[in-house]
């Protein structure tokens, strides 16, 4: 079992499964890159409407193919149908939320479910017609990599890489669109066109992901990797790369697991792996993860309490309990008196406290937003001449 897993992970288990795994990884990569900008633009759920809206197009394309006498099911035709009805769904959402009093969430919900309903009706028509090759249609709903042919997997991989490349080329434009569309418009950027490009890329990723992940879950490829990456960094280039990596890893591991075990549908497994990455990031990421945030806050509290205890001790007030123990552990106090090191730290803390107090009283509006006033050493936050000025003012004359 382990050997088999290793072989698939390292692309050595036959050409076909290697191609499928690589294609799925490329799909995850594209989802992560495009999804980053959707997330920042707060458009994450619009793509949900888009992906559900592809179903009627797929069904109509299948019927058209059958009417034209095309063999079995031709994938390009089905995907073309998916694009057309997906875009129609997208435009309906835009029109509803722009020209009526309905809000975007209602528009998304209505479009998603009504288009899906139409697709379900058309599927039941197809079922009644008893045409050949219709079993393949169901795979579009929940996805299936097992049915994927080599050529299809290669095409998906190349197209996904193309989508990621397009994001890389348009990085500057998409960045300004994501953070400040108003500014972008004033600067003369074609904001409307850029928005269209972004939604176009989302459509593209959705449609090539249909077969692998299925139309209900494909939106997860666009949402989860960037949402997970968001916990690791606050910088856009790093965010995009992290989302791409998480997406690619999800696709790679998910496709591998699904190939390894029976009855593990690829789409769902990929989403679960991505969900696992999200959970780990949510808890343990150093930048914004829960554990890191709790640790930072704890450290801040401890530092604040320590300074308070030191200044108390300096002023001759007794320090009891856990804090006294802590001061002894730090080497600041011994036998109920401050050590030389403790005295130095206490004097520094006392000076910081005095100067911060003066600063807050004199210049409350100038407080730097990023500083933990009262805890950070004042010399490392404020410029030297300001500190000197405060010292002059706060020295009792």
Residues that bind other proteins (CB under 8 A): 39, 42, 44-45, 48, 52, 96, 99-103, 105-110, 112-121, 123-125, 127-128, 141-142, 216-217, 219-220, 223-224, 227, 230-231, 262-265, 267-269, 271-272, 274-275, 278, 282, 288, 290
Q: Which is nearer to other proteins, 245 or 386 (CB)?
A: 245
Helix (H) or strand (E) holding 334: strand 333-334
What's the closest the beta carbon of residue 382 comes to other proteins, in angstroms?
Answer: 29
Q: Which is nearer to other proteins, 227 or 259 (CB)?
A: 227
Q: How many angstroms separate the CA atoms of 90 and 38, rounded?
A: 14
Q: What is the DSSP string of 207-235?
A: HHHHHHH-TTTHHHHHHHHHHHHTTT-SS
What's the sign of the alpha-carbon dihedral 10, 27, 54, 107? positive
Choose among 93, 231, 207: nearest CA to 156. 207
Q: Which is nearer to other proteins, 16 or 113 (CB)?
A: 113
What's the closest the beta carbon of residue 357 comes to other proteins, in angstroms?
Answer: 32
What's the closest the beta carbon of residue 100 comes to other proteins, in angstroms?
Answer: 6
What's the closest the beta carbon of residue 109 comes to other proteins, in angstroms?
Answer: 4
Q: Which is nearer to other proteins, 205 or 309 (CB)?
A: 205
Both structure tokens of 282: 């949510």
Q: How many angstroms separate the CA atoms of 177 and 184, rounded?
A: 6
What's the closest the beta carbon of residue 264 comes to other proteins, in angstroms?
Answer: 6
What's the closest the beta carbon of residue 289 comes to other proteins, in angstroms?
Answer: 9
Q: How many angstroms separate the CA atoms of 397 and 391, rounded?
A: 12
Q: How many angstroms separate the CA atoms of 18 and 156, rounded?
A: 13
Q: Which is nearer to other proteins, 102 or 155 (CB)?
A: 102
Q: How many angstroms separate the CA atoms of 314 and 336, rounded?
A: 12
Q: Which is nearer to other proteins, 89 or 342 (CB)?
A: 89
Specify the DSSP class assigned to residue 366.
G
For helices 150-169 and 15-40, give the axis angle rounded to 10 degrees: 30
What's the closest the beta carbon of residue 198 comes to other proteins, in angstroms?
Answer: 15
Q: Which is nearer to other proteins, 285 or 346 (CB)?
A: 285
Choose among 205, 257, 249, 214: nearest CA to 229. 249
């Amino acid at each position: 079992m382990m050997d088999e897993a290793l072989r698939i992970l390292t692309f050595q288990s036959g050409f076909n499964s290697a191609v499928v795994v690589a294609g799925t990884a490329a799909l995850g990569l594209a989802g992560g890159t495009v999804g980053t900008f959707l997330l920042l633009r707060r458009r994450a759920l619009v793509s949900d409407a888009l992906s559900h809206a592809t179903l009627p197009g797929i069904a109509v394309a299948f019927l058209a193919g059958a009417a034209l006498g095309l063999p079995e099911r031709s994938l390009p035709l089905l995907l073309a149908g998916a694009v057309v009805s997906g875009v129609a769904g997208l435009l309906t959402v835009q029109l509803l939320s722009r020209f009526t009093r309905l809000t975007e969430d209602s528009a998304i919900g209505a479009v998603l479910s009504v288009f899906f309903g139409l697709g379900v009706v058309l599927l039941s028509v197809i079922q009644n017609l008893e045409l050949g090759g219709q079993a393949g249609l169901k795979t579009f709903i929940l996805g299936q990599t097992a049915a994927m042919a080599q050529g299809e997997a290669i095409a998906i991989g190349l197209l996904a890489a193309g989508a990621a490349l397009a994001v890389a080329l348009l990085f500057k434009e998409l960045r300004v669109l994501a953070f400040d569309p108003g500014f972008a418009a004033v600067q003369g950027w074609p904001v409307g066109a850029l928005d269209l490009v972004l939604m176009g890329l989302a459509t593209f990723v959705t449609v090539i992901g249909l077969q692998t992940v299925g139309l209900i879950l494909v939106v997860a490829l666009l949402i989860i990797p960037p949402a997970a990456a968001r916990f690791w960094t606050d910088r856009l280039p790093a965010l995009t790369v992290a989302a791409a990596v998480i997406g690619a890893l999800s696709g790679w591991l998910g496709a591998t697991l699904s190939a390894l075990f029976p009855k593990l549908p690829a789409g769902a497994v990929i989403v679960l792996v991505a969900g696992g990455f999200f959970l780990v990031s949510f808890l343990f990421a150093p930048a914004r993860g829960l554990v890191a945030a709790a640790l930072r806050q704890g450290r801040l509290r401890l530092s604040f309490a320590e300074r308070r205890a030191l200044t108390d001790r300096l002023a001759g007030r007794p320090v009891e309990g856990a804090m006294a123990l802590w001061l002894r552990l730090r080497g600041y106090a011994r036998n109920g008196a401050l050590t030389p090191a403790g005295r130095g730290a206490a004097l520094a803390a006392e000076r910081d406290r005095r100067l911060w107090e003066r600063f807050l009283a004199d210049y409350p509006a100038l407080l730097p937003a990023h500083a933990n006033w009262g805890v950070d050493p004042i010399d490392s936050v404020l410029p030297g001449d300001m500190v000197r000025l405060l010292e002059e003012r706060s020295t009792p004359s």
